[in-house]
Structure 1
Amino acid sequence: MKKADIPLFFATLQAANPEPRTELEYTTPFELLAAVLLSAQATDVGVNKATRRLYPVANTPQAILDLGVEGLESYIKTIGLYRSKAKHLIETCRMLVELHGGEVPQTRAELEALPGVGRKTANVVLNVAFGHETIAVDTHIFRIGNRTGLAPGKTPLDVELKLEKRIPPEYRLHAHHWLILHGRYVCVARKPRCWECAVATFCAFKPKTPAPKSA
């Protein structure tokens, strides 16, 4: 993607969705952290179904600790890898209580020290809960970075660092959500919906997917 086209790319995404939001449901930084931890290799829809049952009963680190692993599993068993996620979340809650007074820390290093929390999860929490201009590179953003030529890279970290350099400052806060939503609904993995893509003009992907006859 040409450098001159990048501001136009993001301006177009902004015009279509001025205030993008995560599709995970939460009301506190801890609820967000727990939901993101549970969302690995799972859909936001599936996580929301589970947390709608869990959070009315336990939505703080201490309350989830009080449930115990088996009690927590009973609420999240519909989510993939729920056993390992339950163990990670319980240990995360223990560390939050013992080391952080039950509060979610606001630095990447402290977040990444929590069980089951990697760089991507930490970046989501920093961006969504605390307003940091971080980019959490998931499979959608990794694909878009490479497919469009916006930020080509061999690893998620490569793409993240290139995005940080190439995204104009005025778009950095919401860039994560614009890209993930675009990848989830338009620039999909197998057959990108190029015929309905608002930013196709700026995209380096060739050949563009033609519209199906029914469209």
Structure 2
Amino acid sequence: MKNIFSTLVSFSVLACGSLFLAIEGANALTFGGGTCNVTDVKANINGTLTNSTSCIGQVSNPQNDVQSGGNPLLGFLNDDKLFGNFNWSFAGKQDIGKTQPVPFEPGTVDFGFSVDPATGEPKNGTWNVTQALSGPFVISLKAATGWAAYFFENADEFEIFQGTWATTNLQNPAGKQAALSHISLFVADTLDKPHQSVPEPATTAALGLFALGSFGFRYNKKS
């Protein structure tokens, strides 16, 4: 069964209508084990933790989402248009238990991606970047023998520096919640605004006219 969860994100500037994300390229993946939920990975937007727009998982084949240069997930994002027609770049990977992130490929932007796992088995924690995410991005979680990817679409009007992650819906072969192996970040190319550095606390002001809540919408696609 292919489990794809999507959310309908509400903007106060929209008087009516619905926006649904169509996930393409899922046929290139094999699903099994656990699943995913848009609540698993969140972004901190002006002090409010906001769900991802959509997610896909648990992917069981290929078992590893990120190896050399961000592939195979980078290929699924760009070639199979997994979350739509964007030009994606691999921005970073953090292996649990290692103090330093994986070295960046030449030409990529160093977002300073890191993760702060909870005590004990790393099943939840926070993620942080030192340069703001101000466009569409994807965070992927690799746990046990599978992984899931979480898409954030409507980040263009904000400077996002942190969020949370949890492997709540990812399972190990025993059917239990899986511990995180690594977490990775992918960003879509944006040409209209520069990336900002982490602001001083006093300069973090609220940005209006955005309804931060997301309304859950579950879409189950059976193979």
User: Same fold, TM exceeding 0.5?
Assistant: no
Structure with more relative contact order (C-alpha pairs < 8 Å, separation 6 or more): 2
Kindly indicate which of the two structures has a greater share of residues assigned to strand.
Answer: 2
Q: TM-score range by the shorter chain?
A: under 0.3
Compare CA radii of gyration and give the structure with the larger one: 1
